[in-house]
Amino acid sequence: EGDEQRGQLLQRPLRAGRAAGSRSAATSSGRRAWGWSGGYPEIVKENALFERYYRGQAVVPAAEWDAFMAALREPLPATLRITGYKSHAREIRHCLKERFFAELRGLRVDGQEVEMPQPLSWYPEELAWHTNLSRKILRKSPQLEKFHQFLVSETECGNISRQEAVSMIPPLLLNVNPHHKILDMCAAPGSKTAQLIEMLHADMNDPFPKGFVIANDVDNKRCYLLVHQAKRLNSPCIMVVNHDASSIPNLQIDVDGKKEVLFYDRILCDVPCSGDGTMRKNIDVWKKWTTQNSLQLHGLQLRIATRGVEQLAEGGRMVYSTCSLNPIENEAVIAALLEKSQGALELADVSSELPGLKRMPGITKWKVMLKDGQWFEEWKDVPLNRQTQIRPTMFPVKDEEKLKILMVTSYRPPPSKKMKMFGFKEDPFVFLPEDDPLFEPIQKFYALDPSFPKMNLLTRTQEGKKRQLYMVSKELRNVLLNNSEKMKVINTGIKVWSRNSDGEQFGCAFRLAQEGIYTLYPFIHARIINVCIEDVKILLTQENPFLSKFSSETQKKVKDMAMGSIVLKYDPDPEKPDELQCPIVLCGWQGKTSLRAFVPKNERLHYLRMMGVEVFKAKRKEEESEGKTEEEGQCGADLGQFSKNSNNHVSQESKDSDTNDVKD
């Protein structure tokens, strides 16, 4: 996750920002030229100015100082978060606990008992865990290697996210509901954005929650990292935009025929910061730390936070967060916001939220230090020639009541407890006209429900043949239609149909896309085949299996159905608790004599693991059959053959390709 881990001051306004820059490594040619034999000089975890500064700010009680510094020198435990929507996330949690963690209990490596991963006590439903298992240890036993492969593969397909614990806190404190309009101001690379999307879809029975997330980042390249993260969740309620957060434009929406300014119910203000709270992970901070970083960032942080407050709806909540320990980047920004708001803002007391989270109160007194170590306690003490570096908003406010509120309602998770702006022009977003003849054959072929919101369908081309159809929620459609000239939209909508060049002979030119199937499924009343779990295994492990391989029930259902795109639905049987207990909806294709699933490879592997089928990537040919049952060996062989013969199709299906043609 690199530099997206933030979150040290936690409050209604909260803290999280950018981590410090990473060290550049020597080149291979440089190593050879100088006879370098490998290994970097170990960074000494000492910085006298850092210690002097934070002792002077009293960010921790004096009695805890030694423990605080000792904690900063310890490596940060790895944390993971189970992503996705409720039923699927619970199934992954069940798989982790019962299949992998159970095997680790009592396991010894090099004479020492392996430390069991533990859930984060404050994260809901045990969907976040921390572990001290290193990569070196993970490769030292078959059980750990198996666990490691699971983590790597599930991370690749987005079902598990390596996300630091403090980074998970700001979205939780936003207290998101499915109807909320949310702005994520500095969103890349997107782990927190993913949390927000998951909260919007808390009710899996509602494919179109009334709320949405607009995720912004100033860096065009980082916006595409953000798109990659968000697309894993296949939501029609996310829009990625590219603006300077400190001047992000006011958007308008149509309300009963009148244009109104869009105000947000929830805003995540996760600002760029000096990142000195990341010393346990980014050890370069030890040698590069200086007070100048915070002084240079304070103004930008305050401008971004101010712009966020300006767009906050009455009764809304904004979380301000950084990964810095520095009060200049935290308490000072919050105090300045309160001062400027003249009573329009108040800090929310979240002390009762996230029970189990260890935290410390914010501080009410702090000083400002220059790079040379000179202290200033009040603005009036700053000489004229230093007033370009130090600003009045960096000092505590004089109002005792405001200081008291700040101390009570702002939080610091203690360590001891735990660009390029704008790019090339994007393709347009063009909504399908009401009378477009393209839609009628689709509606008939899939027997779409009359309630299907066809006005929310869009394409990415104004001219020529439409190759892909995308869908957004009604609320995001409103935003797009009323702000096309104001916003630089990088991505929005999910793909729901793709054109197949031979589709007309099958009754419909467009086949279903796996990316949007969970959104479409509630509206489809035809071409649905319910399959048993054994049929699902066949579909996911074999490229184009003959109909004769499927259960007799499935063969009967397929017999009288015309060729073309279909929906394959698996419903769990509560009376068989050992089987997969979350529903699966797959896009498929029925041919004359065969039935196949159009599902990206990583997604196939994920579902197979959830069903208890192990598919290993063998390192050597002689290892391919070792330790496998006959069923596992066959499964691996079939999937391997699938990869060789049709990986091109799978990789295209996972992208926005126009060439996914289907022939039987």
CATH 3.40.50.150 positions along the chain are 173-417
pLDDT tens profile 609-619: 889 887 655 33
- At 410 the pLDDT is 58
pLDDT tens profile 207-264: 899 999 999 999 999 999 999 989 889 999 999 999 999 999 999 999 999 999 999 9
- At 130 the pLDDT is 92
- At 203 the pLDDT is 82
pLDDT tens profile 320-329: 999 999 999 9
Smallest Cα–Cα separation from 183: which of 313, 53, 46? 313
Statement: residue 366 has pLDDT above 80: yes
Average pLDDT, whole number, for the chain? Answer: 84
pLDDT tens profile 442-500: 999 999 999 999 999 999 988 778 999 999 999 999 999 999 888 999 999 999 999 98
- At 26 the pLDDT is 36
- At 409 the pLDDT is 53
DSSP string, 566-633: EEEEE---TT-TTS--S-EEEEEEE-SSBEEE---HHHHHHHHHHTT------SSGGGTTTT--HHHH
Distance of alpha carbon 252 from alpha carbon 255, whole angstroms: 9
- At 380 the pLDDT is 95
Lowest mean pLDDT among 30-34, 38-42, 163-167, 553-557: 30-34
Mean pLDDT across 54-71:
95
Neighbour-count burial of 10, counting CB atoms closer than 10 A to its CB (0-12 exposed, 13-18 middle, 19+ buried): buried
Residue 223 is assigned to a ligand binding site: no
Statement: residue 313 has pLDDT above 50: yes
DSSP string, 392-447: GGGSPPS-HHHHHHHHHHEEE--GGG------SPPPP-EEPPTT-TTHHHHHHHHT
Residue 270 is assigned to a ligand binding site: yes
**How large a percentage of the chain has pLDDT more than 70?**
82
Residue 189 is assigned to a ligand binding site: yes
Distance of alpha carbon 327 from alpha carbon 291, whole angstroms: 11
pLDDT tens profile 277-287: 999 999 999 99
Statement: residue 32 has pLDDT above 50: no
Mean pLDDT across 50-55:
97
Block residue for tokens 């060049």: 501
- At 108 the pLDDT is 85
Confidence of residue 387 (pLDDT cuts 50, 70, 90): very high
Statement: residue 581 has pLDDT above 80: yes
- The answer to whether 270 and 193 are in contact (CB under 8 A) is no
State the DSSP H helix or E strand holding residue 255, giving kind and residue range, or none if neither: strand 252-255
Structure-model confidence comparison of residues 422 and 55, the more confident one = 55
Structure-model confidence comparison of residues 330 and 106, the more confident one = 330
Please say if 532 is a catalytic residue. no
Distance of alpha carbon 638 from alpha carbon 615, whole angstroms: 10
Helix axes 292-310, 331-341, angle to 10 degrees: 40
pLDDT tens profile 160-199: 998 999 999 999 999 999 999 999 999 999 999 999 999 9
Statement: residue 401 has pLDDT above 60: yes
Smallest Cα–Cα separation from 180: which of 161, 201, 159, 166? 201
Q: Which two tokens stand for residue 274?
A: 């000096």
- At 279 the pLDDT is 93
Query: Taking the model in full, what pTM does it have?
Result: 0.84
Residue 635 is assigned to a ligand binding site: no
- At 402 the pLDDT is 60
Confidence of residue 413 (pLDDT cuts 50, 70, 90): low
173-417 CATH fold: Rossmann fold (3.40.50)
Smallest Cα–Cα separation from 594: which of 657, 655, 546? 546
State the DSSP H helix or E strand holding residue 131, giving kind and residue range, or none if neither: strand 128-131
Mean pLDDT across 628-649:
39
- At 504 the pLDDT is 63
- At 640 the pLDDT is 44
Distance of alpha carbon 481 from alpha carbon 594, whole angstroms: 43
Tell me the one-letter amino acid at 249.
P
Residue 332 is assigned to a ligand binding site: no
- At 637 the pLDDT is 41
- At 389 the pLDDT is 94
pLDDT tens profile 509-558: 999 999 999 999 999 999 999 999 999 999 999 989 999 999 999 999 99
- At 79 the pLDDT is 93
Confidence of residue 423 (pLDDT cuts 50, 70, 90): very low
- At 2 the pLDDT is 37
Residue 244 is assigned to a ligand binding site: yes
Which candidate in 323, 508, 582, 587 is catalytic?
Answer: 323
Residue 190 is assigned to a ligand binding site: yes
Structure-model confidence comparison of residues 563 and 417, the more confident one = 563
Structure-model confidence comparison of residues 641 and 226, the more confident one = 226
